A = this chain, B = another copy of it.
Amino acid sequence: MPVGTLATVKGVSPAQLADTGAQMVLANTYHLHLQPGEGIVAEAGGLHRFMGWSGPLLTDSGGFQVFSLGAINRISDHGVVFRSPRDGRRIELTPERSMEIQMALGADVAMAFDQCPPYPATEADVAAASRRTHAWLERCLASHNRPDQALFGIVQGGCFPALRRESARVVASLGLPGIAVGGVSVGEPVEEMHRIVREVGPLLPEPIPHYLMGVGSLREMAVAVAEGFDLFDCVLPTRLGRHGSALVGGERWNLKNARFRHDHTPLDPSCPCPACRQHSRAYLHHLVRSEEMLGRTLLSLHNLTTLLRFTTAMARAIREGCFAEDFAPWDPASPAAHTW
């Protein structure tokens, strides 16, 4: 899922986004609550109509931003009180309020309001956050009453195997239409993340979608798909694009680099995106050097296309029975890296 924080995937029009192969898009409850406010989105007929995206949409719960962007006044079992970074206004977010906002936004999938502990954190702190996350999930379920919107629960538990197992058991027991694993990609070593994915993946109910939150690099997605994960989100492709970087052949290239000045070849000859089909590395270098908006847009489109080609190739490999051979464990240097 490309990330469309403020009801737009940054720098990319809905038509361009569809051309990248994107299906589902994530939008941020916290940011949309602050601007323009869920009331405006509801007036417009919901997020799909407001942002002009007819494909599936998911909203996060706002919890991750509340806990990671700071300015928190108070956390209690009731909820979180924080100050708006826009106008200093006091805002309270609770499981009930998050559901209310997400129901007004009207995405296809709403996420439960959880407490995502920072990394590192003590086992006691992570256990407390897990317990609160489970209690809040019950309250989310009790207050969510929009039948055309799915509510996904979130497994927490940090890097503690017993807490992860317990959290997976609790969340899996509720008969939800989808389940997510949160609290990864928050600063832990990548090996820790792999370990969590390998431990928790097999504990999740098989028939429903499994969503690994905040993960979107090729290797980590391949590792997670091997453990049964289906959904990912990541700001990286558009953030890298805005900063002039491209994902090519498993590497990150800074297009501002002088080595591209005279390079009139396509960015990635195998890629079907507009940046690669219609332009050269030298032109992209020029746009980035000149701080032209088109450079950011083209590199964002390329990076999104690259990740979506990869996930699409994994889906095809699963259907064709060759996923284990081609993608698990996936290594950018393997021959399979050149075939997807």
Cβ B13 vs Cβ A297 within 8 A:
yes
This chain: copies in complex: 2
Q: Does A103 contact B (CB under 8 A)?
A: no
Cβ A36 vs Cβ B278 within 8 A:
no
Chain B residue with Cβ nearest A295: B8
Cβ B7 vs Cβ A274 within 8 A:
no
Cβ A44 vs Cβ B264 within 8 A:
yes
B residues less than 8 Å from A8 (CB atoms): 287, 292, 294
Determine which of B16, B290, B297 lies in contact with A35 in the assembled complex, contact meaning CB atoms within 8 Å: B290
For residue A2, give the distance in angstroms from its CB to the closest CB of chain B: 13
A50 to B296, CA, bound (A): 17
A195 to B286, CA, bound (A): 41
Assuming the contacts A43-B262, A44-B280, asked whether A286 and B11 have C-beta atoms less than 8 A apart, the reply is no
Cβ A36 vs Cβ B293 within 8 A:
no
Binary CB contact string for chain A from 276 to 316 against chain B (1 if under 8 A, 0 otherwise): 00111011011101101110111000000000000000000
Assuming the contacts A44-B282, A264-B43, A283-B44, asked whether A292 and B6 have C-beta atoms less than 8 A apart, the reply is yes
Q: Pull 20 A–B residue pairs with CB atoms less than 8 Å apart, ordered by A.
A: A7-B286, A8-B287, A8-B292, A10-B292, A10-B293, A13-B16, A13-B294, A14-B278, A15-B278, A35-B290, A40-B286, A43-B264, A43-B282, A44-B280, A44-B282, A45-B264, A50-B283, A52-B278, A293-B297, A297-B297
Q: Does A97 contact B (CB under 8 A)?
A: no
Residues of A within 8 A of B (CB): 6-8, 10-16, 35-36, 40, 43-45, 50-52, 261-262, 264, 274, 278-280, 282-283, 285-287, 289-290, 292-294, 296-298
Determine which of B10, B35, B40 lies in contact with A262 in the assembled complex, contact meaning CB atoms within 8 Å: B40
Chain B residue with Cβ nearest A53: B278
A340 to B280, CA, bound (A): 39
| Most chain B beta-carbon contacts within 10 A, residue among A14, A16, A40, A286 | A286
| Most chain B beta-carbon contacts within 10 A, residue among A43, A289, A296, A298 | A43
For residue A148, give the distance in angstroms from its CB to the closest CB of chain B: 21
A65 to B308, CA, bound (A): 43
A274 to B14, CA, bound (A): 10
B residues less than 8 Å from A264 (CB atoms): 43-45
Assuming the contacts A52-B283, A279-B52, asked whether A261 and B13 have C-beta atoms less than 8 A apart, the reply is no
B residues less than 8 Å from A280 (CB atoms): 44, 50
Chain B residue with Cβ nearest A296: B293
Cβ A36 vs Cβ B282 within 8 A:
yes
A36 to B143, CA, bound (A): 58
Determine which of B43, B282, B290, B298 lies in contact with A13 in the assembled complex, contact meaning CB atoms within 8 Å: B298
Cβ A293 vs Cβ B11 within 8 A:
yes
B residues less than 8 Å from A11 (CB atoms): 293-294, 297
Cβ A6 vs Cβ B293 within 8 A:
no
Chain B residue with Cβ nearest A291: B6
B residues less than 8 Å from A52 (CB atoms): 278-279, 283
| Most chain B beta-carbon contacts within 10 A, residue among A11, A285, A290 | A290
